[in-house]
Amino acid sequence: MKVIKNLLFISVAFILQASLMPVFEYNNVVPNFILVLVILIGMNFNKYTAAVNGAVFGLLIDIFFSPALGVNTLVLGAVGFICGSASEYLVTDNLLSLILYMIAGTILYNLFSSIVIRVFIDTISIRYIFSKIFSMEIIVNIAMAIMVFLLKGRTFIYSFINEIEGNDEYDEA
């Protein structure tokens, strides 16, 4: 039942990302709701929960959009794992830490993606890689995360995941 609930949560988030988020495109960048979710899960749950959630999100993106299977599974899983590991040592319950996590998470996501793409898929130039890593996406994702923070979306997301995972790691500050 927990697995089904978790898959349902991931499926709904994926559908919202793929079919609704393009409406909010700004400056050629679509808010990456899935990446924001994976970072938020990493900030507040253990690294394995974040990695598994990230990997399943990534698998769905790979099935529908990637030229090769496994790219986003690996990259989003890794981002979730690193954010989860960092949250064992760093503060996660204020707005500033949220912004810093979003900056680091988005940079890591694009850095890992560029490495995988360059090694396995396409010979992209270093200039192109830098333009993608330090892009408008960071700002757009921060804006989305702040919106989630202000709208108390965290409470919903965390209590939902808590229920699925069966732990009480999150306490809203």
Partner 1 sequence: MRELKKYRDRIVLTAIVIVLLLVIGFTSGGRKALTTVERVVGDIFSPVMTGVAYVGNGISQTIDSVVEIPSLKSTNEYLESENTRLMDENLRLNDIVARTEYLKNEYEITKKRNDDYVKADIIGKEPGTWFDRFIINKGMNDGIKKDDTVVVGITSATDNVVVEGLVGKISEVGDNFAKVTTILEESNSVSFKNIRTQDSGILYGSQDNMLEGYLFYNQADIVADDRLYTSGMGDVYTGNIYIGKVHNVISDDQDMKKKIIVSPDVDFKKIYRVFVIKSEVYTDESN
**Interface residue list for partner 1 (CB under 8 A):** 11, 14-23, 25, 28-30, 32-35, 48, 60-61, 63-74, 77, 81, 109-110, 113-114, 116-117, 120-122, 124, 128, 131-132, 135, 137
Contacts of 100 (CB under 8 A, 6+ apart): none
CA atoms of 83 and 38, how far apart (whole Å): 8
Closest separation in Å from C-beta 133 to partner 1: 10
DSSP one-letter code for 70: T
CA atoms of 36 and 27, how far apart (whole Å): 19
Name which of 32 and 87 has its Cβ closer to partner 1.
32
Closest separation in Å from C-beta 134 to partner 1: 12
Residues 51 and 80: beta-carbon distance below 8 Å: yes
Name which of 28 and 89 has its Cβ closer to partner 1.
28
Name which of 67 and 159 has its Cβ closer to partner 1.
67
